[in-house]
Amino acid sequence: MDSMQEKILVTGGGGFIGHHLVRFLKSKGYWVRGVDLKYPEYSAKDEADEFLLLDLRDFDNCLKATEGIDKVYTLAADMGGIGFITMVKADVVRNNLLINVNMAEACRQNRVKRLFFSSSACAYAKYKQEDANIPPLKESDAYPADPEDGYGWEKLMSERMYTNFSEDHGLEVRIARYHNVFGPEGTYDGGREKAPAALARKVAVAPDGGEIEVWGDGNQTRSFLYVDDCVKGTYALMESDWKEPLNIGSDRLVTIDGLADMIIRISGKRLIKKHNLAAPQGVRGRNSDNTLCKQVLGWEPKVSLEEGLEKTYRWIEEQVAKKSPQYTNQKKDKVALITGIAGQDGSYLAELLLSKGYEVYGMIRWDSVFLTERIDHIYKDPHQEGVKMFLEHGDLLDSGNITGLVQRIKPDEIYHLGAMSHVRVSFDMPEYTANADGLGTLRIVEAIKNSGLPIKFYNASSSEQFGSTLPPQNENSMFHPRSPYACAKVFAHHTTQLAREAYGTFACNGILYNHESPRRGPTFVTRKITRAVARIKAGLDTKLYLGNLDAKRDWGFAPEYVEVMYLMLQQDTPDDYVVSTGESHSVREFLEGAFSYAGLGDWKNYVKIDPIYFRPADVEDLRGDARKAREKLGWSPKVAFEDLVKIMVDADLRKVGLQPPGEGDKILREKFPDRWWKVD
């Protein structure tokens, strides 16, 4: 072991937050010792470098635990949900005070550099928590003191004791007041579980159409913090210079009834809530003021309540099923809703998700003719057995329609690809473009928010948003849109970011640069060229009319780009990503490559310039920097510009009945031997 590596002790390392913290610290490269009365129930004890079974109510055990340790995270405590801590107040106070007094003295004697103490929101004055619509609790609201009886008084006393040790003996102390931490791999039964886990268990065991018990009238309020955020906030505080007690919590207030309703929706069951007014309820309302935490740590929760509950419920559902399989339904396939499923990207994405076992719903605009050519090879009559793709009529201009689809389908993921996507046409239809592309995205975001479901949302942003911003462009580059299409996309992009920041929606923007394929529409310049090449080669056409040949774009292969869409929604936290090849080439280069590959010679013999195809304001050069996607998603493109040209020309030659050179086909076989899409 590196002698410079810090040695960390986590007391309570076998408990809920403790074992998550051990795992996190190991990922940071620390040497970690875990200590508890029990080994971790839901993780391996060897996740820590050393795990000791010690009763920390004994001082000699505290000395042993802290020997050779640089920093201590003190999480060990006798604790549980409101039902437990109100039944055994004396035991809780005695046990926890013994642990903390002994640990403070042991740290002093063993010259520990720094100690973290996990206090609780139970330390706050009860008289400030009598209203369900409680203002968020500031750190100063702990005084004048009137904490919850038993457990709350012990926490406040331990805060003062550790502070006194810091003042008198120089032990550096950091104190966090945790606010209702929840998540998977924690206690969910036996009487010590807290509200999210208890409700998740009740829902998991309840039969569809049954009922669950909710303690109290359901109108009491709390804020709940997902365990991953808790661990990160804890670490940030430990490594900071802040010495006073600090809130580590969420500032999103929710009723207990609202919490139960969220879990019921996640389960997909139809359940009735029965309120037990005689059960312990604790304070009427409790919420965290995170102002100071944001100011001194730059920390705030990233995982939304819906996302955290989804992960927690699915884990508890799995545990319950292991014990009582008859109580739970079989695990459902993930459900995805795709807007624009009939387009290039939508068709590839549908095929990708079906290959991964998803149930896929695609939104299409009504027309007297089914415009579904790109998905005909995967479409099956819904009356057939085992069908997993369904088409739904919808319109981005109709908020009621969108809301109804979301509430009925209850998707796990929404991929928003639908748009008026032709840049040149957007100049002719600016109002429609703004309504469909800009406000259409807002309508979906609002439908997600109002559904209360933990839906993950992908929004198709565009490189056109950068406009005249000099290349290479990345996620932090300034937007300077140069078309109505780009303006609408900028609005949609910021709307998606706002949903993430204001409402905790798992919302991602994929800033995709030009991505092409044989499924690209024939009015887009790349496909216009390769289709014309094939038709000229077959003697069906003699001329090709184009506009600006000097425009340079970063061109990639569409199937690779939809894989990134999927990857974005599989991450633990939402974010925005540029997706590109990192190279730009002109329309002229595409022409030269396509005509040369098809054996037609000089493209100038066939191409005419028509001013109608010029944009009123054009973009000279778009070239992306996709380092973030490479580093965080592990993605990099396989198809180079020259490869793309050959792939598209081969496909279009085949469409007119000609035998292609086959180099494009060979590239596909070599680079995608197990490809998931089945047709060009």
pLDDT at 132 over 60: yes
How confident is the model at residue 3, as a pLDDT? 39
Contact 121, 178 (CB under 8 A): yes
pLDDT digits (tens, 9 = 90+) for 456-482: 999 999 999 999 999 999 999 999 999
12 φψ region: left (φ > 0), alpha (ψ -120 to 50), beta (else): left
What does the alpha-carbon distance between residue 31 and residue 240 come to, in Å, rounded to a whole number? Answer: 20
Contact 374, 347 (CB under 8 A): yes
Q: Which of 39-53, 70-84, 413-427, 589-603 has the lowest mean pLDDT?
A: 70-84
pLDDT digits (tens, 9 = 90+) for 556-581: 999 999 999 999 999 999 999 999 99
How confident is the model at residue 78, as a pLDDT? 84
Mean pLDDT of the chain: 92
What does the alpha-carbon distance between residue 179 and residue 200 come to, in Å, rounded to a whole number? Answer: 19
Q: What φ, ψ does residue 613 adopt, rounded to 5°?
A: -90, 0
Residue 384's CB is within 10 A of a number of other CB atoms, namely: 7
pLDDT digits (tens, 9 = 90+) for 204-224: 999 888 999 999 999 999 999
Of 141, 207, 139, 210, give the one whose Cα is nearest residue 176. Answer: 139
pLDDT band at 665 (very low <50, low <70, confident <90, very high): very high
Q: Read off the pLDDT of each residue in 399-409 and give the average, rounded to a whole number.
A: 88
Q: Which of 48-57, 59-68, 184-193, 252-261 has the lowest mean pLDDT?
A: 184-193
pLDDT band at 90 (very low <50, low <70, confident <90, very high): confident
What does the alpha-carbon distance between residue 645 and residue 586 come to, in Å, rounded to a whole number? Answer: 13
**Is residue 635 classed as helix, strand or coil in its secondary structure?**
coil
**Biggest alpha carbon–alpha carbon distance for the chain:** 94
What does the alpha-carbon distance between residue 516 and residue 527 come to, in Å, rounded to a whole number? Answer: 8
Q: Read off the pLDDT of each residue in 290-306 and give the average, rounded to a whole number.
A: 95
What does the alpha-carbon distance between residue 180 and residue 343 come to, in Å, rounded to a whole number? Answer: 45
Q: Would you call 564 exposed, middle or buried from its count of C-beta atoms within 10 A (0-12, 13-18, 19+)?
A: buried
Amino acid at 69: I
* Ranges assigned E (strand) in 239-347: 246-248, 254-255, 272-276, 335-339
The percentage of the chain sitting over the pLDDT mark of 70, rounded to a whole number, equals 96
What does the alpha-carbon distance between residue 65 and residue 67 come to, in Å, rounded to a whole number? Answer: 6
What does the alpha-carbon distance between residue 464 and residue 665 come to, in Å, rounded to a whole number? Answer: 30
What pTM value is reported for the model? 0.55
pLDDT digits (tens, 9 = 90+) for 143-171: 999 998 989 999 999 999 999 999 999 99
pLDDT digits (tens, 9 = 90+) for 510-545: 999 999 999 999 999 999 999 999 999 999 999 999
Contact 86, 72 (CB under 8 A): no
- Half-sphere exposure of 433 toward its Cβ, with a 13 Å CA cutoff? 20
C-alpha 5 chain-centroid distance: 32
pLDDT band at 384 (very low <50, low <70, confident <90, very high): confident
Q: What φ, ψ does residue 247 adopt, rounded to 5°?
A: -65, 135
pLDDT at 598 over 50: yes
Q: What φ, ψ does residue 508 adopt, rounded to 5°?
A: -125, 145
pLDDT band at 381 (very low <50, low <70, confident <90, very high): confident
What does the alpha-carbon distance between residue 509 and residue 501 come to, in Å, rounded to a whole number? Answer: 13
Q: Which of 29-43, 84-98, 496-510, 663-677 has the lowest mean pLDDT?
A: 84-98
What does the alpha-carbon distance between residue 14 and residue 41 come to, in Å, rounded to a whole number? Answer: 7
pLDDT at 43 over 60: yes
What does the alpha-carbon distance between residue 414 and residue 527 come to, in Å, rounded to a whole number? Answer: 28
pLDDT at 380 over 90: no
pLDDT band at 280 (very low <50, low <70, confident <90, very high): confident
Beta bridge partners of 8: 32, 71
Helix (H) or strand (E) holding 345: helix 344-355
How confident is the model at residue 367, as a pLDDT? 66
Alpha helix (H) ranges present in 387-439?
A: 399-409, 423-428, 430-433
pLDDT digits (tens, 9 = 90+) for 23-39: 999 999 999 999 998 88
Beta bridge partners of 173: 115
Q: What φ, ψ does residue 552 adopt, rounded to 5°?
A: -110, 135
How confident is the model at residue 324, as a pLDDT? 61
Residues annotated as part of the active site: 462, 464, 485
How confident is the model at residue 81, as a pLDDT? 64
pLDDT digits (tens, 9 = 90+) for 616-643: 999 999 999 999 999 999 999 999 999 9
Query: What is the Cα gyration radius of the chain?
Result: 30
pLDDT at 331 over 60: no
How confident is the model at residue 436, as a pLDDT? 93
Contact 485, 619 (CB under 8 A): no
For the chain, the straight-line distance linking the first and the last C-alpha, in angstroms and rounded, comes to 54
What does the alpha-carbon distance between residue 239 and residue 263 come to, in Å, rounded to a whole number? Answer: 35
Q: Read off the pLDDT of each residue in 270-298 and give the average, rounded to a whole number.
A: 92
How confident is the model at residue 2, as a pLDDT? 43
What does the alpha-carbon distance between residue 563 and residue 167 come to, in Å, rounded to a whole number? Answer: 56
How confident is the model at residue 83, as a pLDDT? 63
Of 148, 58, 145, give the one whose Cα is nearest residue 105. Answer: 58
Contact 592, 529 (CB under 8 A): no
Q: Read off the pLDDT of each residue in 406-410 and give the average, rounded to a whole number.
A: 89
Beta bridge partners of 389: 360
pLDDT at 328 over 80: no
Q: Which residue has the tokens 């100011």?
A: 295
